[in-house]
Structure 1
Amino acid sequence: MGDSRVVFGGLIIGCVFLAISVVAGALNGADGWAQFFRSYLNAFYFVTTIGLGSMFFVLVQHATRAGWSVMVRRLAEIVMANFIILIPIMFAPILIAVVTGHGDLLYDWAAPGAAAHDALLQHKSGFLNVPFWSIRAVAYLAIWSTIAAFYFRTSVAQDASGDLELTHRMQRFAPISIVLFALTLTFAAFDWIMSLEATWFSTMFGVYNFAGACCGFFATCLVVMFLLQRSGRLTNVITLEHYQDVGKLLFGFGIVFWAYIAFSQYMLIWYGNIPEETGWFLSRQVGGWRFVSVVLIVGHFVLPFVAIISKHPKRRPAVIAAVGGWMLLMHYVDLYWLIQPAAIPHEVLDGITYTALLERYADVGAPWNILDLTCLLGVVGVAAGLTLRRMQSVSLVPEQDPRALESVAFENM
């Protein structure tokens, strides 16, 4: 899986598709650039949330001094290490667009003078303004990069030294790192995704994004575990017990908890029936977006819930890895559902009846553009290539971790 040709191929494919995306956006003027940045944000956030899920996993294992997960933890550390350099670089095009006066390609509030024509934006302008937004974005990335670098490099250093103090050091910093993780994830979700439609707000949005991040990482972890073992690696250290436990985490966080938060957010907004809140959901029920909403309910919750509620599919590597692959797809669809409807004309949010809205916008919002695919292949290709390169450069397990033998020998009761 870490063959140099695969690594090089992933990087080349990623760079080629990113170049195609930029050219396609440039050839279509302002509308093309707006579509490019929405598609690019979608792909970037997909990779970022997977990395955030891996960071959460690493921090929790150290905070709880878990033994079962040691043989899986290095995979999470390798994915998390993308925050050291790659993810900040990938965010650069979005940040540059915002600070150079082109932020309105993504964010209406970033247009010069936008607050002067909208009372709600004017009220939020102390928080949603280009300088403060940019400073916060840099702060999020700096905190994630620092946490990732500390845990990845300390864990790898222990492979050579076997120093028990390194384990204690990682455990000591885990609680404060979890607090920083929670705050930065929540506010990044507010800034980067929720502010795409700045008049809308939900206090549950950060938790919803957290559930999605967990879904993305645990699904990725299952797929990577299976592919590595198919290639003859980790066959003696990752057992059916690990598949079952990671499957439990996917089921608990990525399926059940995600559905609970999604329903709670919808139910509270529906019950409150406040126009500034309901418009966000209405724009996701017009045209092709109604179908996407149904796909999320069925594909992100109903089908996987039934598929892996029993322990038996979790103990079948091929089955649980297939479910992991499916959940990765659903995670992307979920982010697509969050981001792309922001492009629907704002008159959708006017005070017209629900039935009239559905009729008026029956053909609006066809949820697909070729840039969505090229940006996704580009960003994922580069991220996958660098992740595979990192797998070649370090051991795939924490060789000198004091709980390594416990992880290999543990059994589910």
Structure 2
Amino acid sequence: MSSNPTASSMTPSYEEAHAPGTQGIKIHWEAARSKRAAMIGFVVGAIGVALTLIGIGVDRTAAFGSWIFAYMLFLAIALGSMFFVLMHHITASRWGTTVRRLAEASMSTLPLFALLFVPVLVGLHDLFHWTHAEDVAKDAILTAKAPYLNIPFFYIRAFIYFAVWIGLSVYLTRKSALQDKGNGLHILGQMRTASAPGMLLFALSLTFAAFDWLMSLSPHWFSTIFGVYYFAGAVQGALAMIIIVAMFLQRAGLVHRMITVEHYHDLGKLLFGFTVFFAYIAFSQYFLIWYANIPEETEWFLHRWGPWAGLSIALIFFTFVLPFFVLLSRVAKRTAPILLLGALLVLVGRAIDMYWLVMPSLDHHGHGPHLSWMNFTALLGIGGLYVGLLCWRLGKNALVPVGDPLLRSSMGHENV
């Protein structure tokens, strides 16, 4: 969508980024309003988390299953936001400059997820069959996987994942904030330099985290493209979140003329593209496993039919069919209500997909879907904390990188 700018094309200074054309636009979310929104999120989140943790005494499997379902859903959005920022820098994107801070605010919630991972560690034996030594000893497949699927190595890998994510998040958000104080061109170069190796670390860490925290819920099953499957859904969810947050801020009277219909058009194109990409990866995974007909692999999909057939069909419609037709036309991507509908459908699809990945793996008796009140409290808890921290982060700095030398170019972006 943009070419790599040369040094001469990037020469606008900090002062030029504040030249007429940007003045008079509200680019700061008032501290009182952002703190109020954050407080609402934190209160709702705290209540949801407390109720879910109380639920451990009622049904440990349901409580921890609900927790990891909600956890992996919102973690995916934060990680998808990190991908957006990394890709923005690697491709030297101009158009994405005005929406970059929204993605940065989302990825800056990643330290929260390190804290929220503690209940997953507490519930290891309730979630992961491979943590039971006596069962592993009786199972040839689990015994063969034991050098990788063991508790000490699980802890070590989790520490590495969070170190990578938090390190990248802190570095990029701090550098972005420094741009507002001047020397934007030099800082932009630093962020681009860090983003190339950062993307490699991001790809590896996300892939193995998906293996560890989702795929190993059914330790007999394996899929070499499961990491790509989780990645595609993560970016799809993050793009939907960016669209919704941008519209929310503009309804609050902020960043008008900064985020235009042209930016929504590009966000819509990316959302549509990743909707198709997710469907392609999901079908490829299913088709290859069905065609190979290996019992350990096909059992995973067979278990998600039968009593879970209704949810599987809903998954197809909400992650692909409905968003596909809603977002297909150019007009839809440039019409706020239609684009918003597409984004909301995607987020519903993300929740269905995560529930479909987690809950059947914990349904050891084949009873089928059983909505628990803990499913909803976990969503409110982790989602509330994520939204609260997101609002707080949005209020910390300008909503657009006013010191970025490409801001003026981004404001004038047009699709052809």
TM superposition score normalised by structure 1: 0.91
Counterpart AA for 1:391: L
Return the offset for 1:373: 0.3
Structure 1 equivalent of residue 327 of structure 2: 308
Structure 2: distance between partners of 1:113 and 1:139? 28
Structure 2 equivalent of residue 8 of structure 1: 39
Q: Segments of 4+ in structure 1 off by > 2 A? A: 1-6
Counterpart AA for 1:39: S
Equivalent residue for 1:154, pick from 175, 178, 185: 175
Return the offset for 1:115: 1.4
Equivalent residue for 1:231, pick from 235, 239, 252: 252
Match of 1:152, SS? helix
Structure 1: distance between partners of 2:82 and 2:369? 35
Is 1:341 aligned with 2:367? Answer: no
Counterpart AA for 1:54: S
Structure 2: distance between partners of 1:52 and 1:367? 29
Structure 2 equivalent of residue 354 of structure 1: none
Return the offset for 1:72: 0.6
Is 1:199 aligned with 2:220? Answer: yes
Is 1:410 aligned with 2:413? Answer: yes
Return the offset for 1:259: 0.4
8 A Cα contact 1:241 1:315, kept in partner: yes
Structure 1: gaps of 5 or more residues: 347-360
Equivalent residue for 1:114, pick from 123, 135, 158: 135
Equivalent residue for 2:205, pick from 152, 173, 184: 184
Counterpart AA for 2:399: L
Structure 2: gaps of 5 or more residues: 1-28
Structure 2: distance between partners of 1:199 and 1:218? 33
Equivalent residue for 2:306, pick from 276, 286, 292: 286
Structure 1: distance between partners of 2:37 and 2:187? 33
Counterpart AA for 1:238: I
Counterpart AA for 2:177: V
Return the offset for 1:317: 1.4
Structure 2: distance between partners of 1:317 and 1:240? 8
Match of 1:161, SS? coil
Return the offset for 1:24: 2.1
Equivalent residue for 1:49, pick from 63, 72, 76: 76
Residue identity over aligned pairs, in percent, reads 42
Structure 2: distance between partners of 1:147 and 1:4? 25
Return the offset for 1:307: 1.2
Structure 1: distance between partners of 2:214 and 2:300? 12
8 A Cα contact 1:144 1:181, kept in partner: yes
Counterpart AA for 1:171: R
Superposed CA deviations along residues 131-171 of structure 1, whole A, max 9, x for unmatched, are 00110011001100000001001001111123421111111
Counterpart AA for 2:313: V
8 A Cα contact 1:103 1:111, kept in partner: no
Superposed CA deviations along residues 76-114 of structure 1, whole A, max 9, x for unmatched, are 00101011x21111112212x2xxxx5220000012323
Structure 2: distance between partners of 1:103 and 1:200? 18
Superposed CA deviations along residues 36-71 of structure 1, whole A, max 9, x for unmatched, are 111000111111100111000100110111101000
8 A Cα contact 2:129 2:219, kept in partner: yes
Aligned pairs for 1:47-86 (under 5 A) are 47-83=74-110, 85-86=111-112
Structure 1: distance between partners of 2:255 and 2:370? 40
RMSD of the alignment, in Å? 1.2
Structure 1: distance between partners of 2:34 and 2:205? 35
Equivalent residue for 1:136, pick from 157, 169, 186: 157
8 A Cα contact 1:340 1:367, kept in partner: no
Is 1:273 aligned with 2:299? Answer: no
Structure 2: distance between partners of 1:212 and 1:380? 17
8 A Cα contact 2:136 2:142, kept in partner: yes
8 A Cα contact 2:90 2:192, kept in partner: yes
- What is the count of residue pairs matched by the alignment? 385
Counterpart AA for 2:54: V
